[in-house]
Structure 1
Amino acid sequence: MNQRKDMCLEKIINSSYSNTAGIVVLKNGETLYENYFNGYTADSTLHVFSVTKSIISILLGVAIEKGYIRSIDQKVLDFFPDYEVKRGEKTIQNVTLKDMLTMTAPYKYKSEPYTEYFTSNNWVNSALDLLGGKGKIGEFRYTPVIGPDIFSGILVKTTGQSVLDFATKYLFSPLGIKSKHNVVFHDKEEQLAWYNDKNVSGWVADPQGINTAGWGLTLNTMDMAKIGQLCLNKGMWNNKQIIPTWWIDESTKEHSRWDKLSYGYLWWVIDDKEHIYAALGDGGNVIYVNTKEKIVVSIAATFMPGAKDRIKFIKEYIEPIFDNCVTLE
Structure 2
Amino acid sequence: MSLNVKSELALPRSHPEAQGMSSSAIVEFLDAVRAQELELHSFMLLKEGSVIAEGWWKPYTADLPHLLFSLSKSFTSTAIGLAVSEGILSLDDQVVSFFPDETPSEGSPNLLAMQIRHLLMMGTGHAQDTMESLGKSANGNWAEGFLQQPVEYAPGTHFIYNSGATYMLSAILHKVTGQSLLDYLQPRLLTPLGISGATWETCPRGISVGGWGLSVTTESIAKFGQLYLQKGMWNGTRILTEEWVAEATSKQISNGDNAESDWNQGYGYQFWRCRHEAYRGDGAFGQYCIVMPEHNAVIAITSGLNDMQAVLNEVWTHLLPGMGPAPLPANAESAAALAERLGQLSLPAPQLAVSSPRENEFNGQYQLEENSLRLETFSIGFDDNEATFKIKDHNGEHPFRSGRSAWIEQLSRLNDGKEQQIAASFSWRDPDTLELTVRYLETPFCFTVVCRVEEEQIALESKPNVNFGSNDPIEIKGARVTQ
Q: What's the TM-score bracket when you normalise by the shorter of the two chains?
A: 0.7 to 0.9
CA distance in 1, matches of 2:234, 2:217: 19
How is 1:53-202 mapped onto 2 (pairs within 5 angstroms)? 53-69=73-89, 71-87=90-106, 89-107=108-126, 110=128, 112=130, 114=132, 117=135, 121-130=140-149, 132-180=150-198, 202=199
Determine the C-alpha separation between the residues in 2 that align with 1:154 and 1:111. Answer: 19
Other-structure match for 1:192? none
Tell me how far apart the structure 1 counterparts of residues 240 and 30 of structure 2 sit (CA, whole Å).
34
Residue number in structure 2 paired with 1:313: 314
Corresponding position of 2:336: none
Conservation of the 8 A alpha-carbon contact between 2:122 and 2:165 = no
State which drifts further: 118-127 or 43-52. Answer: 118-127
Q: Deviations over 1:123-151 (max 9, x none)?
A: 33322322x43333233333343221000
Instruction: Tell me the amino acid that sits aligned with residue 240 of structure 2.
Output: I
Candidates 253, 262, 267, aligned match of 2:266: 262
SS in 2 for 1:288: strand
2:234 equivalent to 1:237: yes
User: 1:277-329, CA deviations, whole angstroms, 9 ceiling, x for partnerless residues?
Assistant: 11121112111111121011111113x334443322221122223336629xx
Structure 2 counterpart of 1:314, one-letter code: V
Does residue 13 of structure 1 match 2:33?
Answer: yes
> Of the candidates 294, 298, 301, which is equivalent to residue 299 of structure 1?
301
Are residues 10 and 208 of structure 1, via their aligned partners in 2, closer, same or farther at CA, if it must alter by over 3 Å?
A: same
Tell me if structure 2 keeps the 8 A contact 1:20–1:38: no
Q: What is the DSSP-based 3-state SS (H/G/I as helix, E as strand, rest coil) of the residue aligned with 1:258?
A: coil
- Using the size of structure 1 for normalisation, the TM-score is 0.83
Q: 1:39 to 1:152 in 2, by over 3 A?
A: same
Corresponding residue number in structure 2 for 1:23 = 43
Query: AA paired with 1:235?
Result: G
Structure 2, unmatched stretches of 5+, are: 1-15, 17-21, 258-264, 329-483
Instruction: Kindly report which structure 2 residues correspond to 1:191-230, keeping only aligned pairs within 5 A, or say none.
Output: 202-230=199-227
Q: Deviations over 1:91-114 (max 9, x none)?
A: 21110111121111122x646563
C-alpha separation in 2, matches of 1:282 and 1:17:
18
In structure 1, which of residues 279, 282, 300 is the aligned counterpart of residue 281 of structure 2? 279
Give 1:61's aligned amino acid.
G
Q: SS of 1:283's equivalent? A: coil
In structure 2, the CA distance between the partners of 1:137 and 1:119, relative to structure 1 (3 Å rule), is: closer
The Cα shift of 1:5 comes to 5.0
Matches of 1:216 and 1:44, distance apart in 2: 15
- For the pair shown, the structure with the greater C-alpha radius of gyration is 2
Write out per-residue CA displacement over residues 66-119 of structure 1, whole angstroms, 9 at most, x where no aligned residue: 1111x2011111122322314363321110111121111122x64656376167
Q: Deviations over 1:160-192 (max 9, x none)?
A: 211110111211111111133xxxxxxxxxxxx
C-alpha deviation, 1:237, in angstroms: 0.9
- Report if the CA contact (8 A) 1:48-1:215 is conserved: yes
In structure 2, C-alpha distance between the alignment counterparts of 1:88 and 1:77, rounded to whole Å = 9
TM-score after normalising by structure 2: 0.58
Q: RCO greater where, 1 or 2, for CA within 8 Å and sep 6 or more?
A: 1
Distance in 1 (alpha carbons) for counterparts of 2:77 and 2:129? 24
Give the residue type in structure 1 aligned to 2:273.
Answer: V
Q: Does 1:326 align with 2:327?
A: yes
Tell me, which stretches of 5 or more residues in structure 1 are unaligned?
A: 181-201
CA–CA distance in 2 between the matches of 1:88 and 1:3?
58
Contact 2:33 2:314 in 1 (8 A): no
Aligned to 1:37: 57
Instruction: Classify the secondary structure of the residue corresponding to 2:319.
Output: helix
2:165 partner SS: coil
Asked whether the 8 Å contact 1:232–1:289 carries over to 2, the reply is yes
Cα RMSD of the aligned pairs, angstroms, is 2.3
In structure 2, how many angstroms separate the alpha carbons of the residues matched to 1:229 and 1:116?
34
Does the aligned pair in 1 maintain the 2:134–2:143 contact within 8 Å? no
CA distance in 2, matches of 1:116, 1:79: 17
Question: Which structure is higher in strand share?
Answer: 2
Determine whether 1:50 maps to 2:70: yes
Task: Report the CA distance shift for 1:45/1:323 in structure 2 as closer, same or farther (over 3 A).
Answer: farther
Residue 116 to residue 102, structure 1, CA distance change in 2 (3 Å): closer
SS at match of 2:228: helix
Aligned pair in 2 of structure 1 residues 299, 138: CA closer, same or farther (>3 Å)?
same
Equivalent AA in structure 2 for residue 60 of structure 1:
I
Q: How far, CA to CA, are the matches of 1:209 and 1:326 in structure 2?
A: 50
Q: 1:133 to 1:119 in 2, by over 3 A?
A: closer
The answer to which structure has the higher helix fraction is: 1
Report how far residue 47 of structure 1 moved.
1.3
